[in-house]
A and B are shown apart, each in its own frame.
Chain A
Amino acid sequence: MSNEIEAIKDPGLPAHVHRKADTDPAVANRAERQVATMFGVSAFGTVLLIVSYVFVPQDKFIFIPVMGNQNAHQLGLGLGMAISLFFIGLGAIHWAKTLMPDTEVVAQRHEFRSPDSDRKEFVEAVKSGAGAAGLGRRSLIKRSLGAALGLSALSPLLLLRDLGPLPKKEFETTTWKSGTYLVTDPGNRRIKASDLEVGAVAQVLPEIDDPEHRKLSDIGKDAVLLIRLRPQEFNLEPEKLAMTHDGIIAFSKICSHMGCAVALYEQQTKHLLCPCHQSTFDVTRGAKVIFGPSARPLPQLDITIDSEGYLLARKPFSEPVGPSFWERNSQ
């Protein structure tokens, strides 16, 4: 292009302007005192840190405007450390900026590309080296080496096999069986249908023999949310309605999207919301997804009561709970 040829000439580096400290010893001395003061402030910070560590009790709180009640021990340690470090840095930079040379220096760059002769020889050396090994000609060696290298990568993978057991059918099963009682969490007490008022929500777990040692991995599949509505508020297919008991409906609490606990229930709208990704489920329509990324309703647990009125599961979950996985075989 034309303007490339007639580019405006480079006027060169601007002339160096001396700082005051370069020419006036008084200014230089003042700069030295400033740097020393900053290092002094840093030392004060270390003293503050030591005093806070040794003399301020860990449970001492003080009131500081704007910040409110603060732990004096932590604040003293932190501020002391901050001051001691920050002012070393500030002093060093002030020193560099006022008293160390500030003349810009020009160094030359060299193209990384070697002279053509060197390059040619290098490329030739690589080629002839590869040629001497016969990489190009002996394709049997090349291929078998490739296969062997690929296969050898399997051994570390294989050795990682014992990291965990095979999942078998465990993604598809929970502790809930036919006749398992619902117990409160926390508390591990059976609950009666009459314990729940209309509009109430409760987290329940399946009753087990040793509730003291309930495994987190079981809670991660077993957690169920009980919600009581007025029976006429449901808008369910007959078979889903049959799974409720007198307005009490039970859903898996484990989100069908990514497994978070679906814990936010809005009583007015009767919506359940997962706080992780905002999948929203309509309780009156069997936890149908009405918003958000989840693709499936929360699985519903079939519940009933025994002769004394205690709630129990009539059947286990009819589909896997929690997030999807490859082997999952249901809509």
Chain B
Amino acid sequence: MTIEAGLGTVANYVDERTGAAAWMKKNLQKVFPDHWSFLLGEVALYSFVILLLSGTFLTFWFDPSQREVIYDGGYAPLEGLKMSAAYASTLHISFEVRGGLLMRQIHHWSALIFMSAIVAHLLRVFFTGAFRKPREGNWIIGIGLLTLGIVEGFLGYSLPDDLLSGTGIRIAEAIIQALPVVGSYLSYFAFGGAFPGESFIPRIYTVHVLLLPGAFLALITVHLMLVWYQKHTQYPGPGRTEKNVVGYPLMPTYMAKAGGFFFIVFGVIAFLSAVASINPIWLYGPYTPGQISAGSQPDWYMGWLDGLVRMAPPIETHAFGHTISWNILIPGLIIPGILFTGMALYPFIESWITGDKREHHLLDRPRNAPNRTALGAMSLTFMLVCLINGGNDIIATHFSLTINQIMWFTRFGVLILPPIAFVVTKRLCLSLQRADRDLVLHGRETGTLLRLPHGEFVEVHEPISPEKTYLLTSHEQAPALELPAVDAHGVKRAGGLRNKLRARMSIANAETVTKVSANDLKEIEHH
């Protein structure tokens, strides 16, 4: 029996027991558009699977306990030192379990790549407008996954209870402790008494290996089911419309590519883990609150938060016998809260500004949505400035600067640079639109110079293909909303200030370089 016939038997077997033939047939032929940027989400998904596999391996030896033990393992420099069982068992995994260090490295590397892929995927979705109706819900799930990822990553690198991770927990405790009214109570409940206590690591272990992975699995399942059900978005181009989806069928091409890509991601992570060692906890020593190492750095996705906390001005309020630490609350909770809420609500904000309630399945080229692209560049700049300050000590030693210089640069930079990024990006987008327009109207520069009879030199331009012409002119250019303060019946619109704001933003949003129309092309032909 050939393989084909064998698989056919399996298909028959499955259908006789489920009656799923029609549904399966439809879904095996489901069409997925192809583009490298659609792989970013896949990288996130695959590194999550790798996290589950490598994490399970680590649980076989890791002892999530803060019970004090005397180390007598194979790593001589720490011999005889008092440490927690968590730290001792992490050393055991690293030095005695064969392949243990590799698995620790794979787990940590895939966490870093998981977060990078989520952020890159988020940027792709944002800049191409893939979050628009009907995908607003999936965007919010994505923001939820990003938030969970940050928490899960922090808990994960806190588990080994080394000097560096203990310092991270100390900072988390200070944030809890700074909460008005309930802070000291919440801290005592979370830590089972005074910091560090002996309860925190066992507790976050359960959250890290059970509660949050469960939440991840549920959210990822819904996220993917929605992608499946709503069909993937696609980039604009000839033959691609809002009403169709152009790509490769799931079986066999897409299955082979996606399945192969999982192995590639796994292979690359294994390679990184083999050659680039990260988080060498044996060099840090066991945690004790009285000690610290210079250059204490969180993992990269926490760096922006740390940078914000570092640049906060030293403000505390002391009144009526109480203290409010603005220097902790503002950078540690309030600004991240505003950023993440704003990010989650962005699809609704944009549709409020544009008044666009239609479905969108064709992606935007970022230049054709200058305001959105500029807003994204602005947010990224904000994050980057924060991240730079999060590594100010490392940057200072590497580039012979003082920490004070970097801190003052970022304190001003975090306010000044994002608006500049907005304006520059918006101008760049409009310039690119103008370049597109020129390209369609005047064609491509060939590099061939022509000498005219009277001696003048001109460059020969060559018309671009009809496909390219279509690509550069197929986007929508919606006019701004018309929201006069007084409507047609002479009645004043309710919510004057809100309307004014909406009208202003709508006008800014509609600023474009008019694209080439069929008429323009005809006119050119006549010349």
Q: Which residue numbers of A lie inside 8 Å of B, CB to CB?
A: 1-4, 6-14, 53, 58, 67, 73-75, 77-79, 81-93, 95-97, 100-102, 104-109, 111-113, 160-161, 163-167, 170-171, 185, 203, 205, 216-217, 219-221, 223, 253-254, 257-261, 263-264, 275-279, 289, 291-296, 322-331
Complex Cα–Cα for A264 and B477 (A): 58
The reply to whether A86 and B264 contact each other, CB–CB distance below 8 Å, is yes
Complex Cα–Cα for A46 and B205 (A): 33
Known: A89-B264, A278-B403. A295 touches B239 (CB 8 A): no
Known: A13-B239, A278-B407. A4 touches B292 (CB 8 A): no
A14 interface neighbour in B101, B194, B467, B517, Cβ under 8 Å: B467
The reply to whether B199 and A164 contact each other, CB–CB distance below 8 Å, is yes
The reply to whether B325 and A91 contact each other, CB–CB distance below 8 Å, is no
Instruction: Tell me how far the C-beta of A204 lies from the nearest C-beta in chain B, rounded to whole angstroms.
Output: 10
The reply to whether A295 and B325 contact each other, CB–CB distance below 8 Å, is yes
A7 interface neighbour in B178, B182, B263, B518, Cβ under 8 Å: B518
Taking CB atoms and an 8 Å cut-off, the chain B residues in 132-148 that contact chain A are 134
Interfacial chain B residues near A295, Cβ < 8 Å = 314-316, 325, 327
Total interface residues on B, CB under 8 Å, equals 123
Most chain A CB inside 10 Å of its own CB: which residue of B261, B268, B270, B476: B270
Interfacial chain B residues near A185, Cβ < 8 Å = 290
CB-CB contacts of B297-341 with A at 8 A, as 1s and 0s? 000000000100111111110100111110110010000000000
B185 interface neighbour in A7, A166, A292, Cβ under 8 Å: A166
Residue B273 is within 8 A (CB to CB) of chain A in the complex: yes
The reply to whether A74 and B101 contact each other, CB–CB distance below 8 Å, is yes
Interfacial chain A residues near B322, Cβ < 8 Å = 326-329
Instruction: Tell me how far the C-beta of A40 lies from the nearest C-beta in chain B, rounded to whole angstroms.
Output: 15
Interfacial chain A residues near B261, Cβ < 8 Å = 89, 93
Residue B17 is within 8 A (CB to CB) of chain A in the complex: no
Interfacial chain A residues near B263, Cβ < 8 Å = 85-86, 88-90, 92
Most chain A CB inside 10 Å of its own CB: which residue of B195, B315, B361, B403: B195
Closest B residue by C-beta to A70? B275
The reply to whether A107 and B245 contact each other, CB–CB distance below 8 Å, is yes
Interfacial chain A residues near B31, Cβ < 8 Å = 105-107
The reply to whether B246 and A106 contact each other, CB–CB distance below 8 Å, is yes
Residue B247 is within 8 A (CB to CB) of chain A in the complex: yes
Interfacial chain B residues near A165, Cβ < 8 Å = 188, 192-193
The reply to whether A293 and B196 contact each other, CB–CB distance below 8 Å, is no
Complex Cα–Cα for A293 and B389 (A): 13
A275 interface neighbour in B242, B245, B292, Cβ under 8 Å: B292
Closest A residue by C-beta to B163? A261
Interfacial chain B residues near A277, Cβ < 8 Å = 306, 309-310
The reply to whether B519 and A3 contact each other, CB–CB distance below 8 Å, is yes
The reply to whether B289 and A258 contact each other, CB–CB distance below 8 Å, is no
Instruction: Tell me how far the C-beta of B160 lies from the nearest C-beta in chain A, rounded to whole angstroms.
Output: 16
Residue B434 is within 8 A (CB to CB) of chain A in the complex: no
Residue B421 is within 8 A (CB to CB) of chain A in the complex: no
The reply to whether A325 and B296 contact each other, CB–CB distance below 8 Å, is no
The reply to whether A95 and B407 contact each other, CB–CB distance below 8 Å, is no
Known: A77-B102, A85-B270. A276 touches B296 (CB 8 A): yes
Residue B9 is within 8 A (CB to CB) of chain A in the complex: no
The reply to whether A275 and B393 contact each other, CB–CB distance below 8 Å, is yes
Complex Cα–Cα for A313 and B309 (A): 34
Which 4 interchain pairs have the tightest Cβ spacing? Answer: A78-B274, A86-B267, A92-B260, A89-B263
Interfacial chain B residues near A107, Cβ < 8 Å = 30-31, 231, 244-246
Complex Cα–Cα for A294 and B312 (A): 9
25 A-B pairs within 8 Å (CB atoms) are namely A4-B476, A7-B517, A8-B469, A8-B518, A11-B470, A67-B275, A74-B101, A77-B274, A78-B105, A82-B270, A83-B267, A84-B267, A95-B260, A96-B253, A96-B256, A97-B257, A101-B248, A106-B239, A113-B359, A160-B189, A217-B194, A220-B196, A254-B289, A261-B167, A276-B292
